[in-house]
């Protein structure tokens, strides 16, 4: 490389987020109304909610025993010669004392999700770099605000997978470990069976590391519809840079990655807050450097009982 010392200073446009596979596109939005209480937005104080539960609906016959519930076999149970035969031992009250009490489900335990922060910063000499508090991405303030917007999905996904910043529920901490998958086709079988069992026909999310996405498409598990990623059964697919497949319930071996799945995930991120209102607040006089920090409050929420993970081998 030969420098001429006459180079023209330019500034490339900020990075453009991918058009599919990001968590912020597949997740549900938490609104201001969701995080507000008594007329005040409480984003940053955490949320709690009662999950919808994973128990299936029950069925009953139309004979004279109108209160009869068929609780055996359960959804996904082994087929019998008479799948609608009543097993007295499995019916509440047993011995023919049939009641509707078996259909009464308790509310799921309250799930608590602490908040966390997204943080970014820049430092540079006041002589060599503009520091005007403007929206232009050539200024320190503008550059930070753009970075907070365009890089947020990966940071939020990493927190969802690990729970590192909030210390709250995460995909890693809550996942039911499925049978290790020898290939992507087996991973599809494991994940789809699990989601069918806990969501009962409702749509969920499947988290595939970007490195494995091409293999999932080649295995005819993931398809592109309307510019977005779905499994063939209609679950939304997240393939975000914040999920490498390394973070999981145990350290993966060679050619192994963790794939997760869950019910809906909701999130909210506040506007970026630039720390320091005046120039002297951001000036390190000892070094003559401008130091600029940006923060945003972030919140995640999901049903911990729906989460699963499989350690998948893809050579």
Query: Is a pLDDT exceeding 80 seen at residue 107?
Result: yes
pLDDT of residue 7: 87
User: Residue for token digits 């060599």?
Assistant: 128
Rounded alpha-carbon distances, angstroms, from residue 122 to 149, 237, 238, 262, 286: 15, 33, 30, 36, 17
| 215 phi, psi to nearest 5 deg | -65, -35
Helix (H, G, I), strand (E, B) or coil at 113: strand
| 42 phi, psi to nearest 5 deg | -105, 20
Sequence-separated (6 or more) residues with CB below 8 Å from residue 160? 23, 170, 171, 242, 265, 300, 302
Model pTM score:
0.86
CA dihedral 204, 209, 211, 214 (to 10 degrees): 0
Sequence-separated (6 or more) residues with CB below 8 Å from residue 282? 131, 275, 276, 290, 291, 292
Query: Is a pLDDT exceeding 90 seen at residue 122?
Result: no
The residue ranges of every structural domain in the chain are 23-51+110-270+299-313, 56-104
Euclidean distance between CA atoms 204 and 215, whole angstroms? 20
Greatest CA separation found in the chain? 95
Continuous segment of H or E residues that includes residue 72: none
pLDDT of residue 88: 53
pLDDT of residue 130: 56
pLDDT of residue 72: 47
Mean pLDDT, residues 222-244 taken together: 97
Query: Is a pLDDT exceeding 70 seen at residue 87?
Result: no
| 237-257 core/surface letters (b: 16 or more CB in 10 A; e: else) | bbbbbbbbbebbeeebeeebb
């Amino acid at each position: 490389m030969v420098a001429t010392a006459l180079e023209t200073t330019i500034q490339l446009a900020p990075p453009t987020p991918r058009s599919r596979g990001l968590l912020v596109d597949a997740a549900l939005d938490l609104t201001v109304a969701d995080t507000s209480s008594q007329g005040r937005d409480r984003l940053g104080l955490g949320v709690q909610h009662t999950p919808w539960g994973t128990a299936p609906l029950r069925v009953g016959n139309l004979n004279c025993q109108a209160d009869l519930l068929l609780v055996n076999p359960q959804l996904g149970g082994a087929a019998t010669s008479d799948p609608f035969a009543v097993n007295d031992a499995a019916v509440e009250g047993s011995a023919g004392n049939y009641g509707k009490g078996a259909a009464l489900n308790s509310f799921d335990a309250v799930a608590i999700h602490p908040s966390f922060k997204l943080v970014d910063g820049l430092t540079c000499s006041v002589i060599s770099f503009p520091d005007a508090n403007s929206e232009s991405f050539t200024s320190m303030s503008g550059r930070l605000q753009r970075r907070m917007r365009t890089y947020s999905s990966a940071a939020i996904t990493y927190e969802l997978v690990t729970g590192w910043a909030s210390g709250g529920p995460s995909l890693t901490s809550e996942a039911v470990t499925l049978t290790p998958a020898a290939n992507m086709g087996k991973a599809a079988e494991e994940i789809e069976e699990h989601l069918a069992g806990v969501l009962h026909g409702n749509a969920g999310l499947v988290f595939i590391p970007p490195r494995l996405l091409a293999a999932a498409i080649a295995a005819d598990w993931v398809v592109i519809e309307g510019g977005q990623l779905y499994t063939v059964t209609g679950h939304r697919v997240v393939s975000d840079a914040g999920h490498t497949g390394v973070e999981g319930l145990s350290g993966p071996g060679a050619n192994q990655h963790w794939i997760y799945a869950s019910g809906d995930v909701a999130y909210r991120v506040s506007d970026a807050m630039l720390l320091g209102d005046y120039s002297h607040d951001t000036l390190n006089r000892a070094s003559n450097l401008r130091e600029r920090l940006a923060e945003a409050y972030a919140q995640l929420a999901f049903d911990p009982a729906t989460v699963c993970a499989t350690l998948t081998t893809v050579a």
